Amino acid sequence: MDRVLIFVAYGTRGDVLPIACLAQQHLLELQQSTSVFLITHASHEEWLSVAPFSKISSRIQYVPSLPARRWGDGLSGEKHEEVLMA
């Protein structure tokens, strides 16, 4: 049975970058025996879809959530839901 390794990284680019590096390294080293995936904010798609992450880009699942820099913006209730739905 194949193993599955799922990395979940939320936060700013500085929070996500090291986890993306770990996911890519595991993919390169364990590609025959392990499926590797990364889950993160949709706002990181632009920089994760190009080199040096192009090898793992097809294995990244983006979620429509607020990145960490927006958590403290004072969004509440309906406004927060609008941002998430956009």
The pLDDT tens digits of the residues spanning 38-82 come to 999 888 988 998 888 888 888 899 888 765 555 555 555 455 455
Question: Which pLDDT value is given to residue 82?
Answer: 53
Tell me the Cα Rg of the chain: 15
Q: Per-residue pLDDT averaged across 20-38, rounded?
A: 86
- Decide if pLDDT at 31 tops 50: yes
Question: Which pLDDT value is given to residue 21?
Answer: 93
Question: Which pLDDT value is given to residue 18?
Answer: 94
Is 19 within 8 Å of 7 (Cβ atoms)?
A: yes
Please, what is the Cα angle at 10 between 62 and 21, to 5 degrees? Answer: 80
